[in-house]
Structure 1
């Protein structure tokens, strides 16, 4: 008998310390995601791109399910989702599910680290509302980002949560397939899995969560060893360390036929995780140091040295407009260098008004009021203009159609700058090429990204450095003004424990 399965998605990664909140129009536009899609639009737009919802669709078609597409939307990371935006989107998903008729299962494409102005646990709240619609017997499965901050409510109100296993996230669609497969098992077995949920006691800086390098590489390799026999699904989530609430933590999820099997697998993964705590660290450079080291390496290299401008990563809530690394490039006399993306709608507009080949005075970037940052006022050459539309072909975006709005390549003193109207993480070489910059021909590339860029840039990189120019996504969580974390949590691997009373006093 054909299974009737509803599918929906609502994705946002929330940095509660970021300068700009997520408005409804951000979900409409989509940023690095697709624009908001309803009903049949989901099936038309989501196939063949690297998203969980795409994996749902592919698996369901192979399984012969009848899909009931509700609503799918995502916005690029930022501060809290505005209450009006959350309620409008969550309310529409709930209403569409309510009027969809009986379903055998519900598949959700979620992030796992959404915080709204009025709700700390964005996904838990959504799951609770949707559970109330379908009732206790309809299985609910969800795909999650590896950076999810998992709550007990999320675990209780769903039947299985399945997380990415790669960072850069090149397995988003694959994770959607795995989540759909778990839903299929639940619909066939007619009863829920046993569950085990564990939280880990320390936070991990984003660059060192990368699964292409140790210790995360070997940690994630442990999943295959436990996901056998009675264990149906296991996930490790390294967490998103920039959300000020109690469940901002790494975690482990295991689903199995028996509670004993679930507990045993979770015990093994927890031991492997804890044994690696001290190895979740790495070398980071101050801006001038990063440029000097990149120039030293580039002098004898035939490939570009890539620098991650990690603290202004738009994939972690930054506005992608700080100028610290651009200043360091100019101060160091770097040539054959490029940086992107600096998001500055006014500068992009003025570049278009001036025209290609013109010289124009601009106060570029630096408009997010980040301490230690400011606009860089100078005369720039307009090298190339673009409407901002192109296809991102690298492994992370996976063929997504991008729209960065009116954009330009500006240059100054041997440094070329990708300037755009809308935010997108510099995680694809096409984000240089669409404004005429060939990334392979540069000596130094500065990417506003923490890790996702590695998927497309590591194959061409002589070396990869991490730099800490001023920005809203502190590399070390101990530098963030937390007040609401779980007491005793270590703010970095083997680092200081969080003391709530002292933190509240410091906050004023």
Structure 2
């Protein structure tokens, strides 16, 4: 007798969004994938892989965008209805056993405090309470009580930068298959949930250094303990002002005492080490970073323009740092050779294309979306390079002004790879200073940098959270409050998704 494979749906919306950026992430900013396109993203869904062969995977529709601003309500509703319609069609073909809920966990939607929870509740209305739901989230996501209740098998990354993201996505799929192989009465793991009143930017919680390094090592140890299925620690997302924004620990398994004790202990460890969190690199205002770079003999010297980091939700076109670089005498005179990556401005790119390589241009760039810090920057320079066909930037132009080479793009793009520079005719290794709109350096840039600093610049993902003015997060919250009163870090056992949610306590 041939054993019937479980039928598992795949869908979701993945976005990290800042409520402090004036940018909006519209539906056209998302990459929509349907059917096979979804499976093609993940090696573990390739034919012949054990995960792929263990189930009948039903990829429906998925939306993903690079981080940005909040999603307008109408755009979210349109994506939500598209997903629900696809699920309804799939259910017409027969019942399903599981849902692979592919999300980031820090999407913000105008007027909706918990979009991922809202979407999963709507999906539950179609698939019912008995279908198992698994998700491998970003550790900068948020886990509300609603999401903790509706998710049967939650998990998240254990590294920042997220070098284990594919491993986590595969673990979420493997965990789902493992539980679906059990008798229906014992499939749902017990879930322990502990909110931790800490809200910190990712640049202070990188697993490259303590205390995050050992905390996440402990997550992996707990996941291997008897009676435990998986363990997760979400740092949370610091640049949104919503009640769910905070750190969360969850442990799942079949032993209630074990999952509760492990979750409570890990939460207590994080709380007790809260004062140890530091920036992943030396940090200072931009002027001090430039002075340190010029005084150093190490080349290239990288500087992160952290306040407008598009990989964290910044608009990407804040010009505050660019103005400072253009005004900086050693760069203006060319005695310091610098690269700035990047600034989006479609009109400026069109001017560069018309001028051609070697042509002179006088264009204003940036501050079209986020002009809260400064206005557009005027570039009077020479077009040194043009590139077309990048899937994110679309078109790129390099404008040289004095000793500064500015990459101008048609669409907002983070620059994480050496090939991003080489494609634009720039050898970043020979530059004196490379300024990138990013927080902690992604692995390839980290390896390229002889030294680096994190510049504390303004923008929608400002590292100085006190400047942003959170008003709706739960209080007290570290580091906004002194933390003098110890919080209740006892584990809450979350009811199974097919049981009433109860009340968060």
TM above 0.5, yes or no, is yes
Cα displacement string for residues 419-445 of structure 1 (whole angstroms, at most 9, x for unaligned residues): 111112222222222211122222211
User: Is residue 288 of structure 1 aligned with residue 287 of structure 2?
Assistant: yes
Contact 1:56–1:107 (Cα < 8 Å) also in 2: no
Cα displacement string for residues 392-436 of structure 1 (whole angstroms, at most 9, x for unaligned residues): xxxxxxxxxx33122111111111111111112222222222211
| Gap regions ≥5 residues in structure 2 | 486-505
Q: CA deviation at 1:172?
A: 1.6
Cα displacement string for residues 7-41 of structure 1 (whole angstroms, at most 9, x for unaligned residues): 113111121111111111111xxxxxxx3111223
User: Is residue 40 of structure 1 aligned with residue 40 of structure 2?
Assistant: no
User: Is residue 156 of structure 1 aligned with residue 149 of structure 2?
Assistant: yes
Contact 2:293–2:433 (Cα < 8 Å) also in 1: yes
Look up the match of 2:24.
21
User: Is residue 5 of structure 1 aligned with residue 4 of structure 2?
Assistant: no
Please give the residue correspondences for 1:64-83 in structure 2 after superposition, counting only pairs within 5 Å. 64-83=54-73
SS in 1 for 2:21: coil
Contact 2:477–2:483 (Cα < 8 Å) also in 1: no
The CA RMSD over aligned residues, in Å, is 2.0
SS in 2 for 1:289: helix
User: Is residue 108 of structure 1 aligned with residue 101 of structure 2?
Assistant: yes
C-alpha distance in 2, partners of 1:288/1:220? 34
Q: CA deviation at 1:79?
A: 2.1
CA pair 470-374 structure 1, distance change in 2 beyond 3 A: farther
Please give the residue correspondences for 1:43-442 in structure 2 after superposition, counting only pairs within 5 Å. 43=39, 45-48=40-43, 61-100=51-90, 101-189=94-182, 190=184, 191-227=187-223, 228-282=225-279, 283-297=282-296, 300-301=297-298, 303-330=299-326, 331-334=328-331, 335-389=336-390, 402-442=391-431
C-alpha distance in 2, partners of 1:252/1:56? 32
CA pair 356-69 structure 1, distance change in 2 beyond 3 A: same
C-alpha distance in 2, partners of 1:11/1:19? 20
SS in 1 for 2:102: strand
Look up the match of 2:495.
none
CA pair 291-73 structure 1, distance change in 2 beyond 3 A: same
Contact 2:140–2:202 (Cα < 8 Å) also in 1: no
SS in 2 for 1:148: coil
CA pair 215-58 structure 1, distance change in 2 beyond 3 A: farther
The TM-score normalised by the length of structure 1 is 0.88
Q: CA deviation at 1:92?
A: 1.4
Contact 1:338–1:442 (Cα < 8 Å) also in 2: yes
CA pair 59-150 structure 1, distance change in 2 beyond 3 A: farther
Cα displacement string for residues 433-480 of structure 1 (whole angstroms, at most 9, x for unaligned residues): 2211122222211110112x3311111211120102221211122111
Bigger mean CA offset, 214-223 vs 137-146: 214-223
Contact 2:228–2:251 (Cα < 8 Å) also in 1: yes
C-alpha distance in 2, partners of 1:387/1:454? 24
C-alpha distance in 2, partners of 1:496/1:470? 30
Bigger mean CA offset, 328-337 vs 224-233: 328-337
SS in 2 for 1:403: coil
Contact 1:322–1:373 (Cα < 8 Å) also in 2: yes
| Gap regions ≥5 residues in structure 1 | 28-34, 49-53, 390-401, 498-508
SS in 2 for 1:315: coil
Contact 1:76–1:423 (Cα < 8 Å) also in 2: no
C-alpha distance in 2, partners of 1:416/1:40? 41
Task: Decide which structure has the larger Cα Rg and report it.
Answer: 2
The TM-score normalised by the length of structure 2 is 0.88
User: Is residue 465 of structure 1 aligned with residue 453 of structure 2?
Assistant: yes
Cα displacement string for residues 319-357 of structure 1 (whole angstroms, at most 9, x for unaligned residues): 211223233334141322111121111111111111111
Contact 1:104–1:138 (Cα < 8 Å) also in 2: yes
Q: CA deviation at 1:495?
A: 7.5
Cα displacement string for residues 351-396 of structure 1 (whole angstroms, at most 9, x for unaligned residues): 111111101001122333444322221312101111142xxxxxxx
CA pair 369-99 structure 1, distance change in 2 beyond 3 A: closer
C-alpha distance in 2, partners of 1:457/1:409? 19
Q: CA deviation at 1:482?
A: 2.0
